[in-house]
Structure 1
């Protein structure tokens, strides 16, 4: 998928994403963790986390809501960007960090990250595509391999708030 196509999709969903983030943040995680994505090809009960990272160029703190899965105690997120030909900014930002912040419902933690490889990557991809089937069409629409990021909790932190975020 061309980046312009992916940008058009994000523009139409932009308000929805902003509203989702605001709901998650203002409720302290009591709302926004599970959403019905059946209207867009997803599952009725789709789990979402928040990730917090620092911009590699701006040094600003960003929080993004993302679908997640749990594989062997590690949280898995997918850098799909809707099948765009370039990686999402949050993914490029975490490549520059040893740890990131993660919030799942009402619990937040600092996490280390890694990318699965080989057979593990294949198994994790299949699992995530089962959780959110549109990932399969996203991968078909781009020549880049969509990255998977596995997050391992390190220590608890405070839940995220909207103060000072972009």
Structure 2
């Protein structure tokens, strides 16, 4: 099973032939700019499409803190996305309160553990929309 940096490396080497389909769901690569380091960080994340727009969840497994990548995109919302061989620049934004329920339902259908993660933390887990620029 692919995980972490090995997942990123195999995905990049194979244009997602290895790593896009993962544990019954789909994964993209999100590259953010470190808010302190200024360095690029690439994270494999479960995604679903809302129309043509990829959506991800900043769950961190229900941890009380947001994942680092989410803090990074709050500082700099311009990100790089790779879905299979398709690489593009996107502007990341947190789903609005109006958008979130439908997007959450879609994401939880793809990865049912998201509902469990939300019960494990007091923070509201953000849904992130990745709009192509």
TM-score under structure 2 length normalisation: 0.93
- Specify the alignment match of 2:132 in structure 1: 153
Q: How many residues are treated as equivalent by the alignment?
A: 133
State the secondary structure of the residue aligned to 1:26.
helix
1:122 aligns with 2:109: no
Q: How do 1:65-76 and structure 2 match up within 5 A?
A: 65-76=44-55
Structure 1 CA distance for aligned equivalents of residues 54 and 125 of structure 2: 16
- Specify the alignment match of 2:14 in structure 1: 27
- Specify the alignment match of 1:111 in structure 2: 90
Unaligned residue ranges in structure 1 (runs of 5+):
1-12, 38-43, 155-166
State the secondary structure of the residue aligned to 1:65.
strand
Moved over 4 A (4+): none
Unaligned residue ranges in structure 2 (runs of 5+):
none
Q: Highest Rg: 1 or 2?
A: 1
State the secondary structure of the residue aligned to 2:99.
helix
1:144 aligns with 2:123: yes
Q: Which structure has more strand as a fraction of its residues?
A: 2
State the secondary structure of the residue aligned to 1:118.
coil
> Structure 1 98/17 Cα, relative in aligned 2: closer, same or farther at 3 Å?
closer
Provide, for residues 43-102 of structure 1, a one-character-per-residue CA deviation record: whole Å limited to 9, x for no partner: x2x110001111000111111100001112211010000100000000000001131000
Structure 1 CA distance for aligned equivalents of residues 97 and 73 of structure 2: 21
Q: Which structure has more helix as a fraction of its residues?
A: 1
C-alpha displacement of 1:128: 0.5
